[in-house]
Chains A and B, each alone.
Chain A
Amino acid sequence: MSGAGEAAWAVFILSNFILLGSGRLKSYARAVSVQGFLLAALAWLPPTMPVGHALFLSACNAVLKGIVFPRFLVRAIEAADVRRETEPGVGFGLSLIAGTAVLAVCFWAGDKLPPPVPAFLAARPAAFFAMFTGLFIIVGRRTAVAQTAGYLVLENGLAALGMSLLRGQPLVVELGVLLDLFAAVFIMGIAVYHINREFDHVDADKLTFLRD
């Protein structure tokens, strides 16, 4: 059981490298989906929550983060007709190298901080690493679709952080967070659609009318 948990977190870590190293936007959607399903599965492993709570949460995670959000991304990619991130702010090779270095730091930090509850060895590093990847993608990629994917990965990292540090939060709060996330992705999707119509591309980098 413990081996399966560690392996799941390892896959979670690897999925971030897809985002760091690839320019294909559909791969981004796939990586986000993999992370969503992993989070849903990991809700069943210790630190354990009440069964009803775990069932409900993992169902929500699987449906929203595993299926609905990646669908949103794919639809945005198809509607905007951008398949690739062609001119990333930071090159893919450099992103991978930076990612590897940061992963080492994440393992070191995860080891240093005192765990308040028993958890998997790889859980905290995986959470930190996903948070880093999300922020990195938001800052370092130019298309609005990639930035939305980055936001989702950041949120997945936070969900992983919650799972590795807490014995489950109150259900109301978890539901509220998911509801907000859903609305955020929905509104970002609408914004991507309008950016595409207005500018004929989804390069958030070209949004430079407003400056001092």
Chain B
Amino acid sequence: MILALLLIPLLAGAAAFAIRGDSLRRGFWLAAAAAHAALTVACWRHAPPPVLGGWLGLDAAGLLVLGAASALFLAATVYGIGFLAREEESRLRLGARRRNESEPVFTGCLLLFLAAMTLTAAARNFGLLWVAVEATTLASAPLVFFHRHARSLEAVWKYLVVCSVGIALALGGNIFLAASAAGGGSPLGFDDLARMGPRLNATWLRAALVFLFVGYGTKMGLAPMHTWLPDAHSESPSMVSALLSGALLNCAFLALWRASRVASAAGQGELAGTLFLVLGAVSLGIAAVFVLGQSDYKRLLAYSSVEHMGILATGAGLGAAGAYGAFFHAVNHSLVKGMLFLSAGNILAAYGTKSVERVRGLARTLPWTGALWAAGLFAVTGAPPFGTFVSEWTILRAAAAGGRWGVLVFFLAALAVIFLGMSRAFLSMLQGPKGGAEKAREPVSAWMPPLVLGAAALALGFGAPGFLDRILREAAGLP
């Protein structure tokens, strides 16, 4: 089962490079995404047994990350097929003034990206986890460079260098981790390390934790290592931004969570918790500063991702109840950010600009996208009745229950500032007379996927349904 989950996108990705016919390749792509989603649903119903001698397996945390990635990939695929067709059309209309990346390479890298994320979710060993996370960077770099112009080139160079260096430090963390376990069985399996617990050498383990948090924290977009994120997210095609923000950042969070589990087992849980809280607070603070007065709506969404990763880190630093909220928030954030980035793609296609100032009258010009954008404002700022509200509330309650009043006050203050910044930009885009758009046209493939994601986020506003609640509890270690 797990092998099939990995092999489907891997083989389909390899095949996509070779298929020449556009419609055949797109059909193949959709089929692979649907098959992956169907298998993921099957895994959610019955957790599959570990394979390859325990190197691959899906626990509750892995299932959550996999589920979010697979659902978002399917939505992005439906959206993307329409997007590529329209790109092709507009390119023919404008003449070959600007070349895009060739479609086989784009599709192939997307599917390989999904395979790498699946491997991240299923890895049961820190070494394999590292290989998988680095592979996500490499598979997604060509995706950021879809529109071949100077700005996306700059974004892709920063993405490659900053993330590769970050992940290289995480490799150092792995080596320290193995050094702390020297002499004990197979190195770096999650279960083996957790079983060794207090027998791990404390000095090396603490060094390992710091390196792992800086390394995977870079990839998760936690400030101050977030510098690649706004550029890569704003310059990619919107469907790629949705995947980077909604699916990839969760994968990095999963890696940090794995490290913190080993730390708790070894009696170093306090250090891991402090690292989570400090990085979370810095991310919330930086996001609040840059959201205010942001003039580019895709960068606005990117900084909002930094904010939400800060929320995840804060939740994970607040014990099991907070971790429940963090995992729930990860699911909510994936849905909401997927919906918003796909909507942003529609706005960009219609208005031809990423500037908040120059988009006016969205509600009248693009009725579907306008409605989604308005709902998205409430969803992304954690207002009821969306799932984000419930998960943020859970994290706040965990902070109060633990007596962490400083954390609670700072968290609320940052969210309030971000709400102001986001609502100012979103409302000014929505209001105004109709017009300003070069071509106001909304095909079904452009509004249906974000609508479905948004509806799911809304449904989670009534709390996690039974099957999700069970997995969230298991992932967070609650009874």
User: How far does the Cβ of A186 sit from chain B's closest Cβ, in whole Å?
Assistant: 9
> Is B441 an interface position by the 8 A CB rule?
no
Contact status of A170 and B138, CB under 8 A, knowing A114-B203, A155-B168, A210-B155: no
How far is A165 from B161 in the complex, measured between Cα atoms in Å? 26
Chain B residue contacts of A131, Cβ below 8 A: 172
Across the A-B interface, how many residue pairs have beta carbons closer than 8 Å?
123
> Is A173 an interface position by the 8 A CB rule?
yes
> Across the two chains, which residue of chain A brings its CB closest to B163?
A184
Evaluate contact between B150 and A166: CB separation under 8 angstroms.
no
Chain B residue contacts of A209, Cβ below 8 A: 150-151, 154
Of the candidate stretches B180-188, B261-269, B336-344, the one touching chain A is B180-188
Chain B residue contacts of A195, Cβ below 8 A: 153, 157
Chain B residue contacts of A100, Cβ below 8 A: none
Contact status of A191 and B186, CB under 8 A, knowing A116-B179, A165-B178, A207-B158: no
The answer, among A169, A187, A199, for a CB contact under 8 Å with B187, is: A169
Evaluate contact between A161 and B161: CB separation under 8 angstroms.
no
Contact status of A173 and B182, CB under 8 A, knowing A191-B153, A191-B160: no
User: How far does the Cβ of A174 sit from chain B's closest Cβ, in whole Å?
Assistant: 8
Contact with B along A174-212 (1 / 0, CB 8 A): 001101100110011001001100110000100111101
> Is A14 an interface position by the 8 A CB rule?
no
Chain B residue contacts of A173, Cβ below 8 A: 125, 127-128, 130-131, 188
The answer, among A114, A177, A212, for a CB contact under 8 Å with B130, is: A177
Evaluate contact between A162 and B175: CB separation under 8 angstroms.
yes
> Is A158 an interface position by the 8 A CB rule?
yes
Chain A residue contacts of B157, Cβ below 8 A: 144, 191, 195, 204, 207
The answer, among B130, B138, B182, B234, for a CB contact under 8 Å with A187, is: B138
> Is B5 an interface position by the 8 A CB rule?
no
Which residues in chain B, 13-65, are within 8 Å of chain A measured between CB atoms? Answer: 55
Task: Name the residue in B128, B154, B156, B186 with the highest tally of chain A Cβ atoms < 10 Å from its Cβ.
Answer: B154
Chain B residue contacts of A167, Cβ below 8 A: 182
> Is A113 an interface position by the 8 A CB rule?
yes
User: How far does the Cβ of B35 sit from chain A's closest Cβ, in whole Å?
Assistant: 25
> Is A154 an interface position by the 8 A CB rule?
yes
A interface majority secondary structure: helix
Evaluate contact between B164 and A176: CB separation under 8 angstroms.
no
Evaluate contact between B201 and A207: CB separation under 8 angstroms.
no
The answer, among B138, B186, B294, for a CB contact under 8 Å with A184, is: B138
How far is A209 from B55 in the complex, measured between Cα atoms in Å? 43
> Is B231 an interface position by the 8 A CB rule?
yes
Which residues in chain A, 69-128, are within 8 Å of chain B measured between CB atoms? Answer: 113-114, 116-117
Task: Name the residue in A116, A155, A198 with the highest tally of chain B Cβ atoms < 10 Å from its Cβ.
Answer: A116
Evaluate contact between A210 and B134: CB separation under 8 angstroms.
no
How far is A188 from B131 in the complex, measured between Cα atoms in Å? 18
Evaluate contact between B299 and A212: CB separation under 8 angstroms.
yes
In the complex, which range does the number of interface residues on chain A fall in? 35 or more
Contact with A along B278-305 (1 / 0, CB 8 A): 0000000000001000100001000000
Evaluate contact between B165 and A154: CB separation under 8 angstroms.
yes
Chain A residue contacts of B319, Cβ below 8 A: none
> Is B248 an interface position by the 8 A CB rule?
no
Contact status of A166 and B161, CB under 8 A, knowing A172-B128, A173-B131, A210-B155: no
How far is A183 from B135 in the complex, measured between Cα atoms in Å? 9
Contact status of A176 and B203, CB under 8 A, knowing A161-B172, A184-B164: no
Evaluate contact between B161 and A147: CB separation under 8 angstroms.
yes
Contact status of A187 and B165, CB under 8 A, knowing A114-B201, A199-B150, A209-B150: no
> Across the two chains, which residue of chain B brings its CB closest to A162?
B175
User: How far does the Cβ of A166 sit from chain B's closest Cβ, in whole Å?
Assistant: 5
Chain A residue contacts of B392, Cβ below 8 A: none
30 contacts between A and B (CB under 8 A): A114-B204, A116-B204, A117-B182, A138-B161, A138-B165, A144-B157, A147-B161, A151-B161, A151-B168, A154-B168, A162-B175, A165-B178, A166-B182, A170-B187, A176-B130, A176-B131, A183-B135, A183-B138, A184-B137, A187-B142, A187-B160, A195-B153, A195-B157, A198-B150, A207-B154, A207-B157, A209-B150, A210-B158, A210-B231, A210-B234
User: Hey, which bits of chain A sit against chain B, CB under 8 A?
Assistant: 113-114, 116-117, 131, 134-135, 138, 144, 147, 151, 154-155, 158, 161-162, 165-167, 169-170, 172-173, 176-177, 179-180, 183-184, 187-188, 191, 194-195, 198-199, 204, 207-210, 212
Interface pairs A-B: 9 shortest CB-CB: A176-B131, A116-B182, A173-B127, A207-B154, A180-B134, A165-B179, A210-B231, A116-B179, A183-B138
User: Hey, which bits of chain B sit against chain A, CB under 8 A?
Assistant: 55, 125, 127-128, 130-131, 134-135, 137-138, 141-142, 145, 148-151, 153-158, 160-161, 164-165, 168, 171-172, 175-176, 178-180, 182-183, 186-188, 201, 203-204, 230-231, 234-235, 290, 294, 299
